[in-house]
Amino acid sequence: MFTCKTQNFTFDNSYKTLNGTVIIMADFEKNITEIQNIYTYFEFSRYNEWEDFDILLSVLVKSMNCKVLEKLDGIYSKHCVLDLDGFIFKLMYHEDFGNCLCNQDKKDDNYYIELEHIAEKLTLNLANN
């Protein structure tokens, strides 16, 4: 799970206060699998519903300046291919595991390190919105 450390305090997937303001962290979990050609994905446990896909997408586009390359809404899933400064990845909702950041092609470790950084930034943006 994600832990965000700053100079004076630590968030650990729970409700915290900072100067009297309640902060809610949206934790994520790294999963490694071979289900449907998705080898590694970062799942958002507090944003795992169908409706949450649009919240995550909005933050990625408006706060993080991602460009939408392709968007598909299905009966049981939603997929959106995004570009962040030349880094291509997918935001996906599936009824079996909720919302996640992933890529449907196997990538090297550096790719997943960058994808994890995006998940961390998204988590921080969710906490600040």
Question: pLDDT tens digit string along 58-71?
Answer: 999 999 999 999 99
The torsion of the CA quartet 12, 15, 19, 20, rounded to 10 degrees, works out to -170
**Residue 85, domain member (yes or no):** yes
Residue 32 has pLDDT above 70, yes or no: no
**Residue 114, domain member (yes or no):** yes
Cα–Cα distance for residue pair 119/77, rounded to 1 Å: 20
Neighbouring CB atoms inside 10 A of 123's CB total 23
Total tally of structural domains belonging to the chain: 1
Cα–Cα distance for residue pair 96/70, rounded to 1 Å: 22
Tokens found for residue 32: 């490694």
**Residue 44, domain member (yes or no):** yes
**Residue 19, domain member (yes or no):** no
Give the three-state DSSP class for 112.
helix
Contacts of 83 by beta carbon, 8 Å cutoff, 6+ apart: 66, 67, 69
Give the three-state DSSP class for 121.
helix
9: Cα separation from own chain's centroid: 23
Domain membership of residue 81 as a residue range: 27-128
Greater model confidence, 108 or 125:
125
> What is the per-residue pLDDT across 11-30, written as a single tens digit (0 to 9) for each?
343 333 333 333 333 466 66
